[in-house]
A and B are shown apart, each in its own frame.
Chain A
Amino acid sequence: MLWLLRNVGKAVIVAEGATELVGLDPLLICHPCSFCLFALAGSCNSCEGINESVLCLFQMRDLKAVGKKFVHVMYPRKSSALLRDWDLWGPLVLCVSLALMLQGGSADSKDDGGPQFAEVFVIIWFGAVVITLNSKLLGGTISFFQSLCVLGYCVMPLTVAMLVCRLVLLAGAGTVSFIIRLIVVGAMFAWSTLASTAFLADSQPPNRKALVVYPIFLFYFVISWMILTFTPQ
């Protein structure tokens, strides 16, 4: 609790600095979910004090760690690097970029832009928490944040799929584009599920792997479905 409170102060400064740096709408970054995540994502151990430059956050060491984890997700092998040094920077970046790309895809007026962002944000984090709790209750040996880290990083193939879908939709919205999008999203969904299963299923008792894999399958299925049915206005 004390640690969290300590880091909330850090998070406020980080959030303000980051919005200026990245040029994002401060309201999105100042969303309550973002605060908690910024606080929890703080892996910059040597960044002390309010007067330090924001750029110290993007130290080469942290960037390298995040980059290595992205590589592990793209080529899922049974390695413990993703589990050992968990961090939530990657999941946060992926979640925010996916939520931003899924904005503005409703059939209604432009007022629906707000709930879309919050909807995706809440689905990803609430879903990840539920899967983690489920795997712990089934007798898993993985810790809470390690599981969140793995599930968050494995959203990356789906973020790539969203990017591809957006590019394909720029060309047109016919049957051909739907088939292309279906194939791409389907492949990335399978990749996400397999990647997260490779990391998470090992921490379960051997006869209960199926019980853990099913909610992960459902989770990525819902995200894939949101990506596939996205139509820009």
Chain B
Amino acid sequence: MAAAGGGRSGAPAAEWGGFEDNMQGGGSAVIDMENMDDTSGSSFEDMGEMHQRMKEEEEEEAEGEAGAGEEEEDGEFLGMKGLRGQLGRQVADQMWQVGKRQASRAFSLYANIDILRPYFDVEPVQVRARLLESMIPVKMINFPQKIAGELYGPLMLVFTLVAILLHGMKTSDTIIREGTLMGTAIGTCFGYWLGVSSFMYFLAYLCNAQITMVQMLSLLGYGLFGHCITLFVTYNIHFHSLFYIFWLVVGGLSTLRMVAVLVSRTVGHTQRLILCGTLAALHMLFLLYLHFAYHKVVEGILDTLEGPNVPPFQRVARDIPAVSNAVLNTTAKAIALTL
């Protein structure tokens, strides 16, 4: 079997016979014969020497095996001792074949993108309709609302958010020390989409809500449309009040839509409260975080241009460390004096 396997793998490897040989540890005489005829081998002298050495080893092992007939069980051990023996090579070859078969089976099972195909079966008109619907809260919450289990729209929205975030970080000159701008943007957006979806799905499972993982991903993904609009506008027009208006109106609308859909699919007041409260909080806070985390330097520039028109939020945050340091110093001195 090792010989057949070696021959099978030897034929396509005719071009690089030397390389394959070194990797697999030879195998059988079938490979050797093929390599002898191979004109693309590394060099004839090396192949000839290797072939001669392997022939001598085989002769030695044949003598050794004839003598060690009693210790049949340890025959493999003897062969594996140096891994140069014929048995050792066969075992290695078999392991390689089995491993290759398992890897190709796993690859064809998990890397088959056709399992995702149904989730990308959309028309442009449908995507546009769903984008607009994501901003319109439904009124009917007593009847379970339909959620399209589609992944194209959410995926494109996440990538759009990444692009907008990158634009915001670049214009605010955010300096990321441990990592890259692109890595941070992708990590933030995908982390939010996948992480919060998984967490909400887990909560939905606890609260007995009728929603699948793909539907949750789709719902949250389309909810990011509001975030995209808000950030696109407010990263270009830097007014705090404008951001708060957009945060409440646009962010609020998309949150209401998601909350209404979830409420329609959950039974029980406590469960509805838990699910919807968590989703609303996470969704709104994420938008707040995206705006403030990547925008501070631009505000600094605006402050210096506008003068003493500093928003109170920023001033308080800046002063607190200084005050606490001074207090610490005085108390430390006081304690030292008393001691």
Contacts and interface: CB of A to CB of B under 8 A. Distances in A.
B42 A119 contact: no
A204 to B, nearest CB: 11
A136 B112 CA distance: 12
Interface string A1-23: 11101100110000000000000
Contacts of A6: 13, 15-16, 19-20
A208 B15 CA distance: 43
A183 to B, nearest CB: 19
Interface stretch (B61-69, B118-126, B206-214): B118-126
Interface residues of B, number: 41
B163 A107 contact: no
Contacts, number: 77
Contacts of B36: none
Contacts of B120: 134, 137-138
Contacts of A36: none
Contacts of B149: none
B166 interface: yes
B122 A218 contact: no
A136 B180 contact: no
Name the residue among A5, A211, A225, A229 with the largest chain B CB count within 10 angstroms: A211
Interface string B250-283: 0000000000000000000000000000000000
Nearest to B175: A108
B177 A108 contact: yes
B170 A1 contact: no
B152 interface: yes
Contact of A138 (B20, B152, B175, B179): B152
A222 B166 CA distance: 8
A197 to B, nearest CB: 15
Interface of B: 9, 12-13, 15-16, 18-20, 23, 40-43, 100, 103-104, 113, 116-117, 120, 122-124, 127, 152, 155-156, 159-160, 163, 166-167, 170, 173, 175, 177, 179-183
